[in-house]
């Protein structure tokens, strides 16, 4: 059942550890944000939570572009060819900058209109719009950082993500403490203070990422020539393999917006409860998302090298690791929930809802810990980027959202019952994941090996070194 290859364990646990640590830092920043803004006011907590759902859609699109690029980059890294990785990274950076500027315009010009789609609570809308107008300036920095870090992960440079996250963590928590609550003689800025601290933190993260790329490790250091003219073959590959990933991430982001909208129309208590439960879930689930990214890198490298026996050995081992992480995460989430609830100053109704939400998550996280790394890590990393997209469309848009919508607006179920419906796909998709991953139909070699391309690649390398 488990591979005896020690190199596999060293590689997978090293990558998982670094990525999980980076994610836990980011999650603790979000948790600290929620606790401090929740101490300021419940309207502010609800408004920032809604505004962050809009940003979550941006994060999904940027993450989709980064992961779509990483599918190709990881397989090229399996053959240690750097120039194709740089060229596809340039395509991804150009794409993500365009997406960031689109969201910047929406957040600056139409914040209230967007938030009105998610809730009718006037207090939450006012606070969320105030937050969005300032935090919009962080979108380009945030997106560039995400794509660069996805590229660095694909070539096994994971330490840069830790440095960037730690830098942003310290700055952001300090500024939150000073600006949200008005400590050390600073004005008590509340929501506006949270937005300013987020902007500064993301600028610092982006600066650290670029400093590492161009000052320390030059594997992904791009020149102007990489942006001046895109390689047609790699552009075609990025479109073919990356578009389904971007669509899958984008579809998921829109679905999360709709989920927030369903809960948002159930009142401020439901919004606050969802924000509390989501913050704890993000902290607890760092291991499953870490091993998901790590699995994509490892599987992509093995597929790129063409070693099928090793691939099957690794895939079987990974599935047992996913299940173990799910059981541990479920126990930890249930054990931590009561202590986390004491940190918030919200209404008793919101507290009861949040407790119910976290109990539901303690069950569904087992399914998340298996199906997410199987589908988004192994299957997507192995080259089949379309299956995950179609699978998410079927479950989210065909089952979860319609039932939840009817439950909320027609049958008037409780907020906890609606939340359980919204998370049900995490368990249901596990059965599909078991069938798909063990069929090995997802193995796709996405690298190009023709002689003409190799010559062009070597010429480009010589030009860069010169």
What would the pLDDT profile of 64-110 be if each residue is shown by its tens digit? 899 889 888 888 887 788 888 899 999 999 999 999 999 999 999 99
- At 449, the pLDDT band (50, 70, 90 cuts) reads low
Residue 126 lies in a domain: yes
Residue 243 lies in a domain: yes
Least confident among 315-324, 387-396, 427-436, 450-459: 450-459
Least confident among 4-18, 31-45, 197-211, 398-412: 31-45
Residue 1 lies in a domain: no
Give the Cβ contact number of residue 157 at 10 Å: 18
CA neighbours within 13 Å on the CB side: how many for 182?
A: 8
Average pLDDT, whole number, for the chain? 86
Least confident among 213-222, 246-255, 404-413: 246-255
> Helical H runs in 136-189?
139-154, 159-179
- At 27, the pLDDT band (50, 70, 90 cuts) reads low
116, 125 contact by CB (below 8 A): yes
Domain that holds residue 217: 6-465
Residue 360 lies in a domain: yes
Residue 272 lies in a domain: yes
For 19-29, letters b (16+ CB in 10 Å) and e give bbbbbbbbbbb
Report how far residue 34's alpha carbon sits from residue 40's, in angstroms, rounded to the nearest whole number.
Answer: 10
pLDDT at 458: 43
| pLDDT tens track for 328-364 | 999 999 999 999 888 887 889 999 999 999 999 999 9
- At 29, the pLDDT band (50, 70, 90 cuts) reads low
Using CB atoms within 10 Å of the CB of residue 399, give its burial: 0 to 12 exposed, 13 to 18 middle, 19+ buried: middle
Domain count, the chain: 1
Give ∠ CA 39-40-43 in degrees, rounded to 5. Answer: 105
- DSSP code for 221: -
pLDDT at 465: 43
pLDDT at 466: 36
Report how far residue 138's alpha carbon sits from residue 135's, in angstroms, rounded to the nearest whole number.
Answer: 5
Least confident among 132-136, 274-278, 314-318: 274-278
First to last CA, the chain: 50
Residue 402 lies in a domain: yes
Q: Please determine, for residue 168, whether its predicted confidence score (pLDDT) is greater than 50.
A: yes
- Count H helices and E strands in the chain, helices first: 21, 0
What average pLDDT does range 250-269 have in this prediction?
A: 84
Percentage of the chain with pLDDT > 90? 37
CA neighbours within 13 Å on the CB side: how many for 302?
A: 24
- DSSP code for 120: -
pLDDT at 143: 94
Residue 410 lies in a domain: yes
Report how far residue 433's alpha carbon sits from residue 64's, in angstroms, rounded to the nearest whole number.
Answer: 20
Report how far residue 101's alpha carbon sits from residue 105's, in angstroms, rounded to the nearest whole number.
Answer: 6
Give the Cβ contact number of residue 412 at 10 Å: 10
| Residue-by-residue DSSP string for 41-88 | -HHHHHHHHHHHHHHHHHHHHHHHHHHHHHHHHHHHHHTT-HHHHHHH
Residue 53 lies in a domain: yes
Report how far residue 235's alpha carbon sits from residue 237's, in angstroms, rounded to the nearest whole number.
Answer: 5
């Amino acid at each position: 059942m488990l591979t005896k290859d020690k190199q596999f364990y060293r590689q997978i646990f090293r990558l998982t550890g670094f990525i999980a640590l980076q994610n836990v830092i980011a999650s603790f920043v979000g948790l600290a944000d929620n606790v401090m803004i929740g101490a300021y006011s419940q309207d502010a907590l609800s408004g920032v939570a809604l505004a962050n759902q809009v940003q979550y859609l941006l994060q999904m699109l940027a993450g989709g572009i980064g992961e779509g690029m990483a599918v190709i980059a990881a397989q090229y890294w399996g053959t240690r060819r750097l120039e194709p990785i740089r060229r596809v990274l340039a395509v991804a950076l150009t794409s993500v900058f365009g997406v960031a500027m689109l969201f910047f315009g929406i957040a600056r010009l139409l914040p209230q209109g967007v938030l009105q789609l998610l809730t009718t609570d006037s207090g939450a809308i006012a606070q969320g719009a105030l937050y969005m107008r300032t935090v919009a300036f962080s979108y380009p920095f945030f997106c560039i950082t995400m794509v660069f870090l996805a590229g660095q992960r694909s070539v096994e440079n994971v330490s840069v993500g830790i440095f960037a996250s730690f830098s942003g963590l310290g700055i952001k928590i300090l500024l939150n403490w000073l600006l949200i609550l008005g400590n050390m003689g600073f004005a008590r800025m509340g929501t506006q203070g949270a937005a300013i601290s987020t902007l500064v933190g993301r600028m610092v993260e982006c600066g650290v990422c670029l400093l590492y790329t161009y000052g320390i490790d030059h594997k992904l250091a791009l020149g102007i020539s990489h942006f001046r003219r895109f390689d047609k073959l790699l552009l075609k590959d990025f479109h073919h393999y990356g578009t389904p990933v971007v669509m899958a991430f984008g579809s998921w982001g829109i679905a999360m917006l709709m989920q927030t909208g369903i809960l948002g129309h159930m009142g401020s208590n439901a919004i606050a409860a969802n924000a509390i439960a989501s913050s704890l879930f993000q902290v607890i689930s760092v291991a499953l998302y870490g091993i998901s990214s790590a699995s994509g890198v490892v599987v992509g490298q093995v597929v790129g090298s063409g070693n099928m026996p090793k691939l099957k050995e690794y895939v079987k081992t990974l599935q047992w690791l996913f299940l173990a992480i799910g059981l541990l995460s479920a126990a930890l989430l249930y054990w931590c929930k009561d202590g986390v609830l004491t940190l918030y100053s919200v209404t008793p109704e919101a507290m009861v809802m949040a407790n119910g939400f976290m109990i539901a998550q303690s069950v569904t996280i087992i399914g998340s810990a298996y199906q997410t790394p199987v589908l988004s890590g192994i299957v997507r990393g192995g080259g089949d980027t379309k299956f995950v997209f179609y699978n998410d469309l079927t479950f989210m848009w065909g089952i979860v959202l319609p039932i939840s919508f009817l439950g909320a607006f027609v049958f008037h179920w409780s907020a906890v019952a609606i939340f359980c419906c919204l998370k049900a796909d995490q368990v249901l998709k596990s059965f599909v994941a078991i069938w798909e991953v063990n069929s090995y139909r997802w193995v796709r070699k996405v690298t190009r090996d023709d002689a003409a391309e190799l010559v062009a690649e070597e010429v480009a390398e010589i030009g860069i070194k010169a």
